[in-house]
Structure 1
Amino acid sequence: MTIIHPIPFPVAARNPPPAGHFAFRCNACGQCCNTPPLLTLDELLRFETRFIGVLALRRIRPLRGDFTAADLAAQADIDHSLLLPAPDGDALQITLQAVDYPSLQRCPARDDAGLCGLHADHKPLACEVVPLDALRADRLQHAVLASRQGELGDADCIAPGQRDGHAPLTDATDVVDPAYLDALYAHRNALATDKAHWGRPLYATLAAELHAPAVWTRIPHHGFFNLSPVPLVAMMAARSPQMAGRWQQFIDAQLTLIDTAVTDALVHKHPADRPLTQQLRGYADAYRALRPSLARASRTPHHA
């Protein structure tokens, strides 16, 4: 999400809200749930029978503009903790993402009533922080809300200042809702753990391929460039026979989901879905090629 300055209040307003103060109320309208979520590694495994997971890459420009030194320092700390350096001065986010067919325009976890089917079942941390953004410093969350207020204006969920039925969420420099503050830090901790556990070593393995112009120029600043999770699965499975067995289970669950999704897509024949069908078939082929080596590794005694 690109940070922009808060929307200016009308000059004619008699009592304009203090700058940076926003309140929030979820109306369960579903506008925040029209795409599959980002996932941590633990969530990828936990929801292996619900979400088709992919590696997701995004380039992030350094924070620039009319920001204070404190703003820039706080954001630099977040970038250092959660992102990876890139050769052109940008930072790189390597994360995991659920995918589904674009014609569906919804998260696969939404039920028939349009509500989150995971709301009471440890829904992804990325969903817990909505409408905030864990990749932005606390003191910049008001700018995130200003941006999203414009995107979700008809939902009437984000309000500048105070509003009846809305809970205060940010002031000029802080997130003031304790539950959201806890969710932000939980998500950042999980992202930092993923970066150390698999993000940094996987990036080192793929760096030459990713930095090739044909690939690097396709990694966007808005949205994500998706890759097969097979390099991640192979790296994690190589750590022990137990891990090989666990990731073999993951592959089996993903193959079932992919086969079902592709079959349904072939029935509906929506033109916008064709590219993803090709991608999913490629992911399935790669999984099937990797699976025998994982089966062998899971039966191999591990020696320290």
Structure 2
Amino acid sequence: MTIIHPIPFPVAAGNPPPAGHFAFRCNACGQCCNTPPLLTLDELLRFETRFIGVLALRRVRPLSGDFTATDRAAQADIDRALLLPAPDGEALQITLQAIDYPSLQRCPARDDAGLCGLHADHKPLACEVVPLDALRSDRLQHAVLASRQDELGDADCIVPGQRDGHAPLADATDVVDPAYLDALYAHRHALAADKAHWGRPLYATLATELHAPAVWPRIPHDGFFNLSPAPLIALLATRSPQMLERCLQFVDAQLQLIDATVATALARKHPADRPLTQQLRGYADAYRALRPSLARASRTPHHA
């Protein structure tokens, strides 16, 4: 978590904190690191030997609830920038996600001490913005924090108003911590670049399949529906000879990581691991089916 320092917060002693004002202090308790992170494409490739990556899809409803017209307009701007249009007035988030066995209840990047092993080594942007949410506008981050305070109440990391040792993070309309504001915009910029670079063209190739009656209802509003990244890798491999070689390297690294991860799970013999073991084997099969065509393309005269 980015280190932030407390600054004065103008609340009169003895008065209730202003509505929507939250302060934050990371306690390194690990509750935010109990699942693998969302990833950008650059991060998926960088961490090819650490994270098993998947395509992750989620349906997003229009903003509802007791919000102002300004709130709704700000959120609509975020949705247009980062999401894709979907039926019934909804939007679709197509992103990348690391996965691991839920029985482990931890991110694969956590070290033996329970701390982030990537904290000083290109920690994913999705982790840099925690406890905020890059897919919500700045005006709605107070609502994000209120929700996460309920989820992480015993961690005592998110508090309304001010508290010694906690840094002001958001008020009713803005993110007030400069480091977190920079992290939010960096994450949104990367997500927008992914949407333009591969999200929109990949969606165009998968739209018929995704909107089929057997698939679309399975894409949730909470959580993600996972698919093999093989279609994305096939798309990227057509971009340039250099990217083709990079895709081959990625496929080989993922196959090795999947095989090792499954072998470890089989030795652990946890009953809850079985569904993901089958899923990971399916991802490996998709990569093995894709690899020969990538290898043939890399050997063609025009590639050389």
TM-score, normalised via structure 1 length: 0.94
- How much has 1:111 moved relative to structure 2? 0.1
Aligned AA for 2:290? L
Q: Which residue of 1 aligns with 2:157?
A: 157
Equivalent positions of 1:201-280 (< 5 A) are: 201-280=201-280
Q: Which residue of 2 aligns with 1:188?
A: 188
Cα deviation digits, residues 118-168 of structure 1 (max 9, x gap): 000010000000000000000100000000000000000001000000000
- How much has 1:300 moved relative to structure 2? 2.8
Equivalent positions of 1:106-145 (< 5 A) are: 106-145=106-145
- How much has 1:301 moved relative to structure 2? 4.4
- How much has 1:88 moved relative to structure 2? 1.9
- How much has 1:240 moved relative to structure 2? 1.9
Q: Which residue of 1 aligns with 2:293?
A: 293
C-alpha RMSD of matched pairs (Å): 1.1
- How much has 1:297 moved relative to structure 2? 1.4
Q: Which residue of 2 aligns with 1:5?
A: none
Is 1:83 matched up with 2:79?
Answer: no
Aligned AA for 1:210? L
SS at match of 1:106: coil
Q: Distance in 2 between matches of 1:42 and 1:302?
A: 27
Equivalent positions of 1:31-180 (< 5 A) are: 31-180=31-180
Cα deviation digits, residues 212-248 of structure 1 (max 9, x gap): 1110010000000000000000000012222111100
SS at match of 2:89: coil
Q: Which residue of 2 aligns with 1:6?
A: none
Structure 2 residue runs of 5 or longer lacking an equivalent are: 1-12
Aligned AA for 2:241? P
Given that 1:218 and 1:225 are in contact with CA atoms closer than 8 Å, whether structure 2 keeps it comes out as: yes
SS at match of 1:117: coil
Aligned AA for 2:167? A
Q: Which residue of 1 aligns with 2:8?
A: none
SS at match of 2:88: coil
> What is the number of equivalent residue pairs in this alignment?
291
Runs of 4+ off more than 6 Å: none
SS at match of 1:145: helix
Q: Which residue of 2 aligns with 1:9?
A: none
Structure 1 residue runs of 5 or longer lacking an equivalent are: 1-12
Which sits farther off after the overlay, 58-67 or 265-274? 265-274
SS at match of 2:173: coil
Q: Distance in 2 between matches of 1:176 and 1:210?
A: 39
**CA 298–242 in structure 1, closer or farther in 2 if over 3 Å, else same:** farther
Given that 1:57 and 1:94 are in contact with CA atoms closer than 8 Å, whether structure 2 keeps it comes out as: yes
Q: Which residue of 1 aligns with 2:6?
A: none
SS at match of 2:56: strand
Q: Distance in 2 between matches of 1:108 and 1:247?
A: 22
Aligned AA for 2:62? P
Q: Distance in 1 between matches of 2:18 and 2:134?
A: 23
Q: Which residue of 2 aligns with 1:4?
A: none
Q: Distance in 2 between matches of 1:152 and 1:107?
A: 17
Percent sequence identity over matched residues?
A: 88
- How much has 1:182 moved relative to structure 2? 0.2
Aligned AA for 1:219? I
Equivalent positions of 1:18-33 (< 5 A) are: 18-33=18-33
Which sits farther off after the overlay, 276-285 or 106-115? 276-285
Aligned AA for 1:116? C
Which sits farther off after the overlay, 103-112 or 238-247? 238-247
Q: Distance in 2 between matches of 1:177 and 1:48?
A: 32
Cα deviation digits, residues 31-71 of structure 1 (max 9, x gap): 00000000000000000010000000000100011110100
Q: Which residue of 2 aligns with 1:282?
A: 282
Q: Distance in 2 between matches of 1:270 and 1:102?
A: 10
